[in-house]
């Protein structure tokens, strides 16, 4: 390193250190940085700067360099080795973060690169703080051989050990391919950026060679694909700033670790009915077949109507996300009658199950809003495993020990009634609106089965069917039979929903429940 200072003096040693820091900060070439910006992407350090509070970032291993001598690597040993790691604060709370630097070796993972991430993960777990991974990498560093694969597995193992202990959030802000995808896949949340993020196991060229399929990067593994089709991602940012802001918002609802208190901003709500509350009395249409927006209920019960939705573009027939009640974090799971009539299908079941388990892991109460006519019928659902995969949601609720509050707004039919946070699975408070219809099945299906012979013999089958449907609805399609048996704790006026939920959460704040001792359950994966 050429210099104009004497490293044999203290001043020279300090100057030498500063020069090394400067070299580490500008490890990527100016041309590489320019290309990164031209793609609409920030550099690793710019991303960290946007995520953490100003001046709070403390870097680890800034002067680390690879030790490889193959393929002339000895002549190219940039400081940092292509990944920036360290800790800082987000809204005053400590987090650990690593950012892969695409301007250095294409962000490829080698031995030292991997060791830096492993050290950071160990530090995050030891100190009990969230881990944010910013992924932008060409994959394993081929020049370093199998050692790269070994380090990937070391990272995966730590992702698994940290799961449910500290929040883990992955920002995918460029390519993330091959084995590299499995680290984000294990984390709690994946945030991608439209048009610049890509995740896939095998790329378009390999797919074409093996299967003959022609597919573009964006269609195969772009942000929109993983937010709408695969369900791999939890949010799609329209740019990198939007993606990072979402992560910061997400962190505000999560504790630093599973033993820490969930962030709260305690306020005492005025529980007198407002005009917004009273509007719920007119929300449910008189016709059971007419949809309505469940998000209006969600926004009414949450502080200021603020709701941070998770996986908004995937399985829209169920809505999940975070909000606050009296300043305390809550998770919300709600059927959406505007989409597939709110039925549960494979995607909705897995989406909600994953969310309930995340809330349970981090001690966040779950509010469930139910309007579900049943599971989506069809050979496609049956052959793709709705039995096994739908059971995941049942499992998630039955396993949860956090406060569980369920409100049935309209339909709750058959097995879907049981699955959606029923009293029988362990919900603490179960409420129903007068419009609730809690039954084994809908009136039409029930009448066709119960009165098959009667209808076959009727002179006017349709008129008789209509008469029997009305009779069935009057007798069974209501909340009162369930209330008589204690399956529903109270039938409430819709306008009083916010007050009932708020009081229930106050009562459940110190809930303690333990499950039977075991190594781990065997969820039907």
Could you read off the pLDDT of 31-85 as tens digits, one per residue? Answer: 888 888 999 899 999 999 999 999 999 999 887 886 776 766 676 667 778 899 9
- Are the beta carbons of 102 and 174 closer than 8 angstroms? yes
Closest CA to 98 of 130, 57, 132: 132
- Non-local CB neighbours of 1 within 8 Å, separated by 6+ positions: 16, 19, 20, 23
CA distance 26 to 190: 28
Closest CA to 257 of 93, 74, 40: 93
pLDDT at 1: 47
Closest CA to 234 of 223, 219, 244: 223
pLDDT at 69: 60
DSSP for 333-370, written as a single string: EEE-TTTGGG-B-HHHHHHHHHHHHHHHHTT--EEEEE
CA distance 64 to 79: 6
DSSP for 406-451, written as a single string: EEEEEEEEHHHHHHTT-GGGT-SEEEE-TT-EEESS-HHHHHHHHT
**CATH numbers and ranges of domains, the chain:** 10-253 (3.90.226.10), 275-440+477-508 (3.90.226.10), 443-476 (no CATH)
- Are the beta carbons of 392 and 350 closer than 8 angstroms? yes
Active-site residue, 28 included: no
- Non-local CB neighbours of 218 within 8 Å, separated by 6+ positions: 195, 198, 224, 225
Q: Which residue has the tokens 């299906």?
A: 445
Chain segment 114-150, per-residue pLDDT in tens: 999 999 999 999 999 999 999 999 887 877 779 889 9
The answer to whether the pTM exceeds 0.85 is yes
pLDDT at 18: 82
Active-site residue, 323 included: no
From the list 49, 203, 414, 415, the catalytic residue is 415
For the chain, count helices (H), then strands (E): 21, 17
Active-site residue, 11 included: no
Closest CA to 348 of 365, 336, 366, 331: 336
pLDDT at 475: 87
DSSP-derived 3-state class of residue 58: strand
Kindly state the tokens that stand for 418. 């049981």
CA distance 290 to 476: 20
CA distance 172 to 199: 8
Beta strands in 111-174 (DSSP E): 131-135, 168-172
Kindly state the tokens that stand for 181. 């995808």
Beta bridge partners of 330: 323
- Are the beta carbons of 409 and 433 closer than 8 angstroms? yes
pLDDT at 77: 66
- Are the beta carbons of 223 and 194 closer than 8 angstroms? yes
From the list 12, 179, 203, 414, the catalytic residue is 179
Beta bridge partners of 430: 406
From the list 82, 133, 139, 178, the catalytic residue is 178
Active-site residue, 415 included: yes
The segments of the chain whose pLDDT lies below 70 read 1-2, 27-28, 66, 69, 71-73, 75-77
CA distance 243 to 233: 12
Kindly state the tokens that stand for 462. 């349709």
DSSP-derived 3-state class of residue 215: coil
From the list 24, 416, 432, 436, the catalytic residue is 416
């Amino acid at each position: 390193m050429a210099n104009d200072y004497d490293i044999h003096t203290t001043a020279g040693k300090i100057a030498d250190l500063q020069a090394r820091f400067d070299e580490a900060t500008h490890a990527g070439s100016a041309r590489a940085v320019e290309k990164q910006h031209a793609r609409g992407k920030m550099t690793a350090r710019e991303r960290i700067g946007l995520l953490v509070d100003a001046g709070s970032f403390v870097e680890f291993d800034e002067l680390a360099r690879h030790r490889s001598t193959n393929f002339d690597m000895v002549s190219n040993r940039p400081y940092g080795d292509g990944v920036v790691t360290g800790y800082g604060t987000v809204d005053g709370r400590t987090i650990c973060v690593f950012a892969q630097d695409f301007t250095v070796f294409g962000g490829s993972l080698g031995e030292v690169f991997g060791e830096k991430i492993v050290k950071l993960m160990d530090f995050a777990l030891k100190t009990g703080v969230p881990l944010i991974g910013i992924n932008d990498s060409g994959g394993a560093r081929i020049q370093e051989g199998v050692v790269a694969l070994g380090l990937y597995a070391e990272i995966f193992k730590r992702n698994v050990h940290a799961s449910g202990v500290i929040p883990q959030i992955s920002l995918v802000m460029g390519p993330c391919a091959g084995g590299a995808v499995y680290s984000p896949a294990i984390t709690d949340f994946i945030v991608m950026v439209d048009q610049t993020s890509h995740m896939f196991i095998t790329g378009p060229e390999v797919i074409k060679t093996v299967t003959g399929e022609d597919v573009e990067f964006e269609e195969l593994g772009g942000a929109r694909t993983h937010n709408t089709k695969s369900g791999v991602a939890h949010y799609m940012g329209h740019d990198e700033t939007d993606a990072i802001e979402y992560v910061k918002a997400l962190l505000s609802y999560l504790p630093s670790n599973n033993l820490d208190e969930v962030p709260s901003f305690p306020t005492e709500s005025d529980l007198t009915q407002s005009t917004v509350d009273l509007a719920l009395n007119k929300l449910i249409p008189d016709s059971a077949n007419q949809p309505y927006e469940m998000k209006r209920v969600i926004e009414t019960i949450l502080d200021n109507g603020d709701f941070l939705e998770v996986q908004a573009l995937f399985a829209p027939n169920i809505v999940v996300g975070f909000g606050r009640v009296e300043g305390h974090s809550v998770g919300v799971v709600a059927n959406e009658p505007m989409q597939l009539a709110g039925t549960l299908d494979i995607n909705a079941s897995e989406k909600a199950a994953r969310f309930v388990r995340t809330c349970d892991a981090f001690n966040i109460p779950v509010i469930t809003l139910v309007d579900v006519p049943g599971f989506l019928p069809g050979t496609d659902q049956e052959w793709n495993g709705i039995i096994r995969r739908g059971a995941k949601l049942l499992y998630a609720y039955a396993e949860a020990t956090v406060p569980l509050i369920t409100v049935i707004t309209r339909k709750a039919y058959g097995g879907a009634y049981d699955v959606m946070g029923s009293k029988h699975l362990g919900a603490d408070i179960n409420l129903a609106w007068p419009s609730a219809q809690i039954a084994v099945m809908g009136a039409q299906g029930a009448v066709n089965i119960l009165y098959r012979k009667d209808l076959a013999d009727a002179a006017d089958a349709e008129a008789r069917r209509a008469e029997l449907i009305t009779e069935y609805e009057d007798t069974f399609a209501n909340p009162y039979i369930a209330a008589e048996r204690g399956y529903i704790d109270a039938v409430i006026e819709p306008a009083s929903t916010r007050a009932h939920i708020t009081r229930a959460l106050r009562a459940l704040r110190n809930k303690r429940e333990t499950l039977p001792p075991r190594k781990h359950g065997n969820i039907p994966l």
